[in-house]
Amino acid sequence: MLTSRKIASELGQVLANKEVKMLSKFYNFSTDPFSETPNTYFYFSSNTHQNTLAQLTELLEQGRGFISITGEVGTGKSMLARYIIKQFKSDVNTAFLYWPNLEGKELIAAINRELNIPSSDDEFNMLERFLLANAAENRQTILFIDEAQSLSLKSLETIRQISNLECETKKLIQIILLGQPELTTILARPDMRQVNQRISKNLTLSPLPFHEVEMYIKHRIELARGSNFVRFDYKATKMIYNYSRGIPRLINLICKTALLCGVKEQTRIITDKIVKIALKDTNLAPIPKSRFFIGLR
């Protein structure tokens, strides 16, 4: 029996597929250039992503055990994590947990499933044995935990205990917390002292400055093979920047809506007038510059 939620989900998928077909036909796209999912095919190496990636790679090579990456919603933390996972060689085990609202044994069990560790009554022991065996073979294990600002105190304590696993020469697992800026505030609390002391480095992803927003839009259109069939003019791009403040997820939302408006208007040049129409559908208001001053330098 179909629930109302499932019906809504399936209807949404049908509408999404219809939109993609419209865009593909009119603009000659091979795929949706502004999809909501973090597809690493469209990874854009902005300055902030490049710097964070370089630092993260160095920290992982050094075997630093506990790292946090913070950034506003939609700045590309999940995309960065998935991108670096793809770059790892076969001698690295990786696990990715999204929105882990689990605690204690259930959290460890979820990590073990991601690492393909058989289920057991003693999940922690199974994890430790797995990590020791892999360390003996010089195999690195890295755990990414997304939306980490939502972790409970009990969950963070469990993660701290996992981060303590080590042999004589190195940590058995490296943990990367991905979270919104409030994660830093949470970790700075007195009751988070033991967890915060374990974090060797906090990296920050900033929004894109205007010139990179221009590059970002062109980059995604080119990868979708539509560069000869559509372009966003300067005024349109400036308006997109003003309403997104350089946050990739919002850029994608505005651009996709603008392209759909372009189909209705039968134009392949996206102007500020087209973006204005699109913004009415997205209900976005300009974001104050002061909120994201780091990304505007």
CA pair distance 156, 103, nearest whole angstrom: 9
Task: Give me the pLDDT at residue 16, please.
Answer: 57
pLDDT tens digits for 193-210?
888 888 889 999 999 999
Instruction: For residue 22, name the pLDDT band (cuts at 50, 70, 90).
Output: confident
Top pLDDT among 296 and 105 is at 105
Choose among 10, 14, 8, 16: nearest CA to 34: 16
The pLDDT tens digits for 210-263 are 999 999 999 999 999 877 889 999 999 999 999 999 999 999 999 999 999 999
Share the mean pLDDT of the chain. Answer: 86
Angstrom distance (rounded) from CA 33 to CA 225: 9
CATH class assigned to 208-296: mainly alpha
How far apart, in whole angstroms, are the C-alpha atoms of residue 204 and residue 41? 22
Element (H, E) at 231: strand 231-232
Q: Which of 93-97, 161-165, 292-296 has the lowest mean pLDDT?
A: 292-296
- Position 288 confidence tier, pLDDT thresholds 50, 70, 90: low
For CATH 3.40.50.300, the residue range(s) in the chain are 47-205
Mean of the pLDDT values across residues 47-59?
Answer: 93
pLDDT at position 53 over 70? yes
Round to whole Å and give the CA distance between 201 and 233: 40
pLDDT in tens, 60-101: 888 877 899 999 999 999 999 999 888 876 778 999 998 778
pLDDT (average), residues 162-180: 87
132-167: b (≥16 Cβ within 10 Å) or e: eebbeeeebbbbbbbbbbbbeeebbbbbbebbebee
Q: Taking the CA atoms of the chain, what radius of gyration do you get in angstroms?
A: 22
HSE (CB half, 13 Å, CA atoms) of 33? 31
Instruction: State the angle between helix axes of 234-244 and 248-265 in degrees (0 to 180), rounded to the nearest 10.
Output: 140
Does the pLDDT value for residue 295 go beyond 80? no
What percentage of the chain reaches a pLDDT higher than 70? 89
pLDDT reading at 292 higher than 70: no
In the chain, % helix, strand, coil (3-state, to 5) comes to: 55, 10, 30
Q: Decide: residue 27, CB within 10 A, 0-12 exposed, 13-18 middle, 19+ buried.
A: buried
Q: What is the mean pLDDT of residues 45-57?
A: 94
C-alpha 126/C-alpha 129 separation (Å) is 5
CB within 8 A of 161, min separation 6: which ones? 124
From CA 188, how far away is CA 145, in angstroms rounded? 19
pLDDT-derived band at 43 (thresholds 50, 70, 90) equals: very high
**Between 3.40.50.300, 3.30.420.40, 3.40.50.10490, 3.30.428.10, what CATH number should domain 47-205 receive?**
3.40.50.300
Domain(s) labelled CATH 1.10.8.60 in the chain stretch across 208-296
